Structure 1
Amino acid sequence: TGKRVAVIGTGATAVQLIPEIAPKVAHLDVYQRTPIWVLKKPDARLPGWLRTVFRWSGLAQQGVRATTDALTESLMIIAAVYYRHMPWLVRWAERAGVSNMREQLPDNPELWDKLTPQYGFGCKRPTFSNEYFATFARDNVDLVTTPIRRITAGGIETSDGAEREIDVLILATGYKVFEKGNLPSYEVAGRNGTDLGEFWEENRYQAYEGLTVPGYPNFYIMLGPYALIGSSYFKMVEGNAIHVVRCIEAAHERDATCVEIRQDVHDRYFQNIQKRQQGTVFLNHNCATSNSYYFDRHGDAPMLRPSTSFEMLWRAKHLPMAHYHFKKAYPAGWLSGDSRLTSSSRRFSGDDPVAEATRR
């Protein structure tokens, strides 16, 4: 409150915080590298009678949920995943984003040029807001698009030599998802002693159903490569949880201690994913300028799964367990306390290493 503040970044986090702090600060500088697609947020207050209906009718809740799911699937999945077949959906979203901006910022072509993305809708994470653009019309807010040279003791210096003084610096600079050491954020050694992060770095990010990798038995990745469903993080969690539970139950039924995806099944799945990727917005709509964390160093976009949530959930519930190897065997080194199979800082202890592992 009452301070000179700078925000670096104009992604989903910045879109939420900038309208909240702008009325409170003395001055706000927003440093933008890449503009973001922002759609209008349907946020009308529900009338009292409708809230009463929702409170007493589960069917009404399910109906609204189904409707909003269908709309979200159409905009966030079908438009991005099936771009080649329905490019008009992406074009519609782009027009809606421009209209939202101009409605909040009337008669301001200079800001329109700075705030309009030059990449396709869906290349990086879009968002919703009814206040974000209007913030830049305030007298105490400046949008800075000149690249940053360095942070100084008293402010931020840009590449043109100008320095803007600040009291508070807020970093809303997003994620670096597909870099070694980030996914996974800890060492995971497989059967051959190969670290999973190194494997992905060299051989492209890949996992069967975004969940399991050959050579890494009994290891499940909730947010693995090509796991995320664009409409909802929670649907991905639901689907992968169903998948994991099925694997564990199948292992119990077979009295197996080792569950591992078959190499041939995994490879066919990965090939299918790559084939589907060819029709997505990521490879067809000027994404090179988006600076998106959806992409890795290989040029792949392993963040989003190229399918609908309905297909993902169906596969989680029905894919054959024959796709997995089930064995009653311990990985090499398990009983001897091989540190490669635990963390680098500790080994199993006690008389019963398997029981100790279960306890931990």
Structure 2
Amino acid sequence: MNAPAPSPAATPVDAHCDVAIIGSGFAGLAMGIRLRQSGVEDFAIFEKADALGGTWRDNHYPGCACDVQSHLYSFSFAPNPDWSRMFSPQPEIRAYLERCADRFGLRPHLRFGHELRRALWDERAGVWRLDMANGARISARVLVSGMGGLSRASIPDIPGLETFAGTCFHSQQWRHDYPLAGKRVAVIGTGASAIQFVPEIAPQVATLDLYQRTPPWIMPKPDRAVSERERWLFRHLPFTQALMRTGLYWALEARVLGFVLHPRLMKAVERIARRHLARQVPDPALRRTLTPNYTIGCKRVLISNDYYPTLLRANVDVVTTGIARVEPDAIVLRDGTRRAADCVILGTGFHATDPLPRGVVVGRDGRDLLDAWSDGAQAYLGTTVAGFPNLFLVVGPNTGLGHSSMVFMIESQVTYILDALRNMKAREVHAVDVRPEVQRAFNARIQHKLGHAVWTAGGCASWYIDPRSGRNTTLWPGFTFQFRRATATFRLDDYETWPRRAATRDARDARDVHDTSDPLDPHGAYNNERRPA
């Protein structure tokens, strides 16, 4: 892996850029690359950490790998002929992102150590005011969030967890410095992360108690090494890799037929998962414990060839009795059983319904984004939110997938944002804000389609569903090519617009973050210039 370049000097206080991008994972890098390719250089990518990579930097637990084939889980404009496996491990994906940053000249635009504390829309100036944790203050006309939906670790509310005297960490903050050999380990959670790291650590530990609330459906993982011959073909005959990518894409798209259009088709998929479980778990009692009671696809479908065999090990025990509390050296179950532990590992996922803390994004009239989402997150095309001018979300509400590559969705959204910027420039528009009625109509259509999907009708409770509204605020209800078609063109008529000032505000004015006038003043310069497109 290429070592990350040293962080540039801290952005000067009161600096201005036309486009501010938050996050340097797939979303932030795609946005930066496409901006450069379109001739835009006045942008910066603000990253809270000291290196790029997003989720593929933050998640580095043993066994961490992608569950979508990497020939598809990569940028269409930057194919990598050298993936070692069909499903690449985390270090390879992170190294790929580092190479993309170098190849496309993003290093000068990266600002490491810049954690966003608050983004406030300044109505009077028509810019976003960004306050960073390091004290830097930046203004930007356009704000693009590439923070993703699964970036904040979810810590379960278990009584006494904070009193545990041993070592406790979430899988996202893996403690590589802590030796697991010979330890009594408690793993809480059986989701996508746990099924990857449990097989890696089980051979090392003295005992492993796996606390399962709801078993996942697990399919065989069609993984294999990519041969030297294949890699030679991909390097010297790039169309061969393009053909593989296309084949993978359409094979995965076919899953939509069962997920959304005809959920009864999932019964055939379920039979494959049941056979996989039966082949790998001969013990009938354990097999019953590991068999879900909901339709496959209702929760995230997982893939693994080594998870079930790991649970057969003599030192591994699957615990299904609920946890009552945690004590300094043990976990106490609801039936009173006390199970000693030296280490607790939380495989409990991420905050999905509220990916941002309160106070981070504040739009028109001082409204917090979480208040706009009090009944569940929603956006127009997963990208823009009424009341938040010039804010664009990449991997926003209802852009998630249960069947294919999120990179495809990211590239679609980036195309939409670029077209928005082109339209704004051509029409001399300074700011855009999606019309509330447009957003409402779009989300009504989305929820109607989701009402018939397996995620709603499959008989489970999942993180896809917002607990406040009961709506699926996470997933796209259809084929990804439909989303790409919907985001291919930015329709200015869908937005309320503000024209450019007659006298162009220069960079020095935009940097004036200490302007003493009220940014929410209804007589501000942009308030009385609103007009329809």
TM-score between the two structures when normalised by the length of structure 1: 0.85
Classify the secondary structure of the residue corresponding to 1:257: strand
- Hey, what does 1:341 align to over in structure 2? none
Secondary structure, counterpart of 2:317 in structure 1: strand
CA distance change for structure 1 residues 195 and 329 in 2, over 3 Å: closer, same or farther?
Answer: farther
TM-superposed deviation, 1:267:
2.2
Taking only the aligned residue pairs, the percentage that are identical comes to 36
| 1:95 alignment partner, one of 271, 275, 278 | 271
User: Is the CA contact 2:382–2:397 (under 8 Å) kept in the aligned structure 1?
Assistant: yes
Deviation at 1:196, TM superposition (A): 1.8
Q: Aligned partners of 2:358, 2:294: CA distance in 1, in Å?
A: 30
2:146 maps to none
SS in 2 for 1:143: strand
How far off is 1:11 after superposition?
Answer: 0.2
Structure 1 stretches of 4+ moved >3 Å: 182-187
Separation (CA, whole Å) in 1 of partners of 2:327 and 2:263: 48
1:237-248 alignment, distance < 5 Å: 237-248=410-421
Greater Cα offset, 122-131 or 318-327: 318-327
- Residue 244 of structure 1 deviates from its aligned partner by 1.1
Q: Does structure 1 residue 223 correspond to structure 2 residue 395?
A: yes
Alignment of 1:1-360 (within 5 A): 1-75=181-255, 77-82=256-261, 85-88=262-265, 90-106=266-282, 108-179=283-354, 182-183=355-356, 186-202=359-375, 204-230=376-402, 231-287=404-460, 290=461, 292-296=462-466, 297-328=468-499, 348-349=513-514
Letter matched to residue 514 of structure 2:
S
* CA deviation string 1:209-249 (max 9, x = no partner): 01111221111121222122331221221111111111112
1:31–1:143 CA contact under 8 A, matched in 2 = yes
Give the structure 2 partner of residue 357 of structure 1. none
Query: Residues 266, 328 of structure 1: CA spacing in aligned structure 2 closer, same or farther, 3 A cutoff?
Result: same
Deviation at 1:43, TM superposition (A): 1.2
Aligned partner of 1:300: which letter? Answer: R
Report the CA distance between 1:184 and its aligned residue: 5.9
Instruction: Name the aligned partner's letter for residue 479 of structure 2.
Output: T
In structure 2, what residue type is equivalent to 1:271? Answer: A
1:98-150 C-alpha deviation (Å, 9 max, x unpaired): 111121112x1111111111112122212110000111111110000000011
Cα distance in 1, alignment partners of residues 491 and 257 from structure 2? 26
One-letter amino acid of the counterpart of residue 72, structure 1: L
Cα displacement (A) at 1:26:
1.0
Alpha-carbon contact 2:447-2:472 (below 8 Å) kept: no
Partner of 1:326, secondary structure, is: strand
d(CA) in 2 for partners of 1:177, 1:236? 17
Amino acid at match of 1:302: T
Question: By how many angstroms is 1:278 displaced?
Answer: 1.9
Question: 61-70 or 128-137: which moved more?
Answer: 61-70
Work out the CA distance in 1 between the residues paired with 2:498 and 2:401: 31
Q: Is the 8 A contact 2:184 2:207 kept in 1?
A: yes
Distance 1:153 1:86, change over 3 A: closer
Deviations along 1:228-278, one digit per CA (max 9) or x if unpaired, are: 233122122111111111111211112221111123322221121122112
Offset, 1:189: 2.7
Question: For residues 229 and 249 of structure 1, what CA distance do their matches in structure 2 show?
Answer: 28
**Shift in Å, 1:322:** 2.6
Change in CA separation of 1:285 and 1:323 when aligned onto 2, cut-off 3 Å: same
Could you list the per-position Cα deviations for residues 26-83 of structure 1 after superposition, in whole angstroms to 9, with x for gaps in the alignment? Answer: 11110000111111011123343333222222111111111111222223x332122x
TM-score, normalised to structure 2, is 0.58
Q: In the alignment, is the contact (CA less than 8 A) between 2:431 and 2:499 conserved in 1?
A: yes
Greater helix share, 1 or 2?
A: 1
Q: Can you list the C-alpha shifts for 1:283-330, whole angstroms capped at 9, x where unaligned? A: 22212xx3x111112111111011211111122113533322332268
The answer for unaligned runs of 5 or more in structure 2 is 1-180, 506-511, 520-533
Bigger share in strand: 2
The CA deviation at 1:86 is: 5.0
For each residue in 1:138-169, what CA deviation from the matched residue of structure 2 results, as whole angstroms up to 9, or x when unmatched?
11100000000111111111011111111111
CA RMSD of aligned residues (A): 2.3
Alpha-carbon distance in 1 for matches of 2:444, 2:335: 47
> CA separation in 1, counterparts of 2:196 and 2:382?
29
Contact 1:4 1:168 in 2 (8 A): yes
The aligned amino acid for 2:430 is T
SS at match of 1:299: coil
Q: 1:274 and 1:327 mapped to 2: Cα distance?
A: 31
User: Which has the higher mean CA deviation after the structures are superposed, 239-248 or 259-268?
Assistant: 259-268
